[in-house]
Amino acid sequence: MYWLYGLLILLFASTSIAGPKVLLFNSYNPQYQWTKANNQSILQVLSSEVADEDLHVEFMDSRRFSDDLVYRQVLARLYQHKYSQLKPNIIISTGDFALEFLIQYRDDIFPGTPVVYNGIHFDLTQKLARLNNFVGIQEGEAIAENLQLITELHKDEIDEIIVLSDKSSLGNFFSEKVTELKKGWHHPSIELTLQDDFSFEELLYQVNNSSKSKNRGNGKAYLISVLSKDNKGRYFSYHDDIPLLTRYSKSPIYGMWGTPLMGLGIVGGYMNNPQLHGRNTAQIALDILSGTEISSFSQNIEPQFLPSFDNRQLKRFNLEINDLPGESEINFKPETLFSRFASAIIIITSIIIALTIIIILLSAQVRRRKDAEHQLAQLNNDLEDIITQRTLALERSNRTLLKLNSRMENLANTDDLTLIANRRHGHRILDRLNYPEGEEYSIALIDIDHFKNVNDLHGHDIGDQVLQFISHTINQFIRPSDTICRWGGEEFLLIMPMTQLEDALNMSERIRNLIATTPINPVESITISTGISAKSQSTSINELLRQADLALYQAKTQGRNRCIIWSSDSDQLKRPLD
């Protein structure tokens, strides 16, 4: 019996020795679409040679901690402990942060282990020259190619190209590239501008109010190099923020990163392909594991940036496909009738061919001719019924999709005129803050004094500009944790989490004074009245809003251009129905 146990142990031990161990370091998290697509391609190629249990994946989340040295040291200690007993045969890294981490710590944590990298922007030639067993694929950039593309596509429509970047390490790298390109920029009618110090709200306001050139169409075009954080430290989400930018932008926006940007409203550009990066990187790793010397590879393999465009945006900005570079990839083309019903057409064609053969065979048999004709007629009727049913089903599906799209559009949280949160979104925030165990918060209901006179004297266009000015001024003045909503007409609701009444009054007074002392041509002056209430004074959201409304009315009755905190005396006032 003991010899049988020993044999089983040997069998299990032999199966556990099997394949190589691979460690995959990712600079970013999997919510970043470039990393997600790149990883999927790497894992797909590796799956043929590497068992699932021998593949270890780490996401370093460097978009949020790109310049945090302490974070990098903490990661080093974590991986030192985690992989002290588990030694990979090869390491694959994606992105600049992961490679720089390995350049610094590889020989301490994974001494001598080969590293295959991809997605690299920075020139690390000098650092890599001092190390052995590093090889990979540069991600590079295509700023110059995209600038040339934009000038050719919009040569008669724009007078400025704005390259968007930020103050991260990668953003500074791209900003330096643009600065170098500006030195040699000699276009006679198009200016090249670098913009890397802005908040998301400022950028959204800018693209929505892009001034048009007198004789050159939209006047501006944008190129996204990298956007990680704005100057307020707000994390930039491609998936959530790019659609908002492109939706309100009056100018075309281009980019270089295919998967994270394509389909989110950008026109396109010379773009890289993370899937191709991933497949090539994984294949190099497999070749090294199979015995190929790492020195036989070029240390920095150049990437490809290929022209890729969104057909919907081409139509939006009146761009012709014939004007695009050769072999351009056109995404989101309208579905053709054949592609839409391809399966049904193939099935029908196959059935018709089969029926034709049957008819030819039956024609030789006169005695069974009538039965065959009856069968053919029945089959044709069945086919027509199938086609009719499928057509009706597709039409119903299309109608359902249109209704859903319309409903989603109506549920948008942004006020179209002022581009701040709307009343629906404000209610959602109040619901979230109003849990019994939640922190204290205050609200301020703001109303523009004599706004009807502005519309009557200057027209509704000026009135709209006043609303936009008020909302933009307040939005720029308040804290990142506060929210300003357009509550209706000329009323705004300011929600201030974790704010006592006295602090809410101070904030409201500063806003009131700022607006009262800022001229808005052609209106001589604008003042506001404000009613303030706090969660501690009420038992429900409706009561909280009612108190703020009564305080606002009290501010109006006392002469306007003032801020009033609700008190029990306010309940003695009866606000008119209007």
Dump pLDDT digits (tens) for 194-210: 999 999 898 888 888 87
Question: What does the block give as tokens for 351?
Answer: 């059935």
Distance of CA 404 to CAs 102, 121, 401, 409, Å?
A: 48, 41, 5, 9
Residue 314: burial class (beta carbons within 10 Å; 0-12, 13-18, 19+): buried
Q: Is 120 helix (H, G, I), strand (E, B) or coil?
A: strand
Q: How far apart are CA 204 and CA 481, in angstroms?
A: 19
**What CATH number belongs to 143-271+305-331?**
3.40.50.2300
Out of 409, 490, 491, 543, which one is annotated catalytic? Answer: 490
Question: What does the block give as tokens for 488?
Answer: 């209706």
Query: Do residues 430 and 488 lie in contact, with contact meaning Cβ atoms separated by under 8 Å?
Result: no
**Does the annotation mark 160 as catalytic?**
no
Q: Is 233 helix (H, G, I), strand (E, B) or coil?
A: coil
- Residue 9 has a pLDDT of 52
- Residue 276 has a pLDDT of 81
The model's pTM: 0.49
Q: How far apart are CA 505 and CA 564, in angstroms?
A: 8
CATH architecture of 423-572: 2-Layer Sandwich (3.30)
- φ, ψ of residue 435 in degrees (nearest 5): -60, 145
Note the Cα 518 to chain centre separation in Å: 36
- What count of Cα atoms within 13 Å lies in the side-chain half-sphere of residue 394? 10
> Candidates 3.90.76.10, 3.30.1330.10, 3.40.50.2300, 3.30.70.270; correct CATH number of 2-138?
3.40.50.2300
Secondary structure of 41-66 as H, E, C letters: HHHHHHCCCCCHHHEEEEECCCCCCC
Give the pLDDT confidence of 233-259 residue by residue, as tens digits.
888 888 889 999 999 888 999 998 887
Q: Is 235 helix (H, G, I), strand (E, B) or coil?
A: strand
Other beta carbons within 10 angstroms of residue 186's beta carbon come to 6
Segments in the chain below pLDDT 50: 10-16, 213-216, 577-578
- Residue 578 has a pLDDT of 39
DSSP 8-state class, residue 84: S
Q: Which of 210, 145, 126, 141 is nearest to 175 (CA)?
A: 141
Q: Is 319 helix (H, G, I), strand (E, B) or coil?
A: coil
Q: How far apart are CA 361 and CA 355, in angstroms?
A: 10
Tell me the residue length of the chain.
578
Q: 204-225: b or e for each residue (b if 16 or more CB lie within 10 Å)?
A: bbbbbebeeeeebbbbbbbbbb
For the chain, the C-alpha Rg in angstroms (whole number) is: 32
Other beta carbons within 10 angstroms of residue 447's beta carbon come to 20
Which residue in this structure is represented by tokens 């693209």?
A: 207
Q: 535-574: b or e for each residue (b if 16 or more CB lie within 10 Å)?
A: bebbeeeeebbbbbbbbbbbbbeeeebbbbbbeeebeeee
- Residue 209 has a pLDDT of 83
Q: Is 305 helix (H, G, I), strand (E, B) or coil?
A: coil
Beta-strand pair 22-26/329-331: unpaired
For the chain, give me the number of helices (H) and strands (E)?
Answer: 20, 18
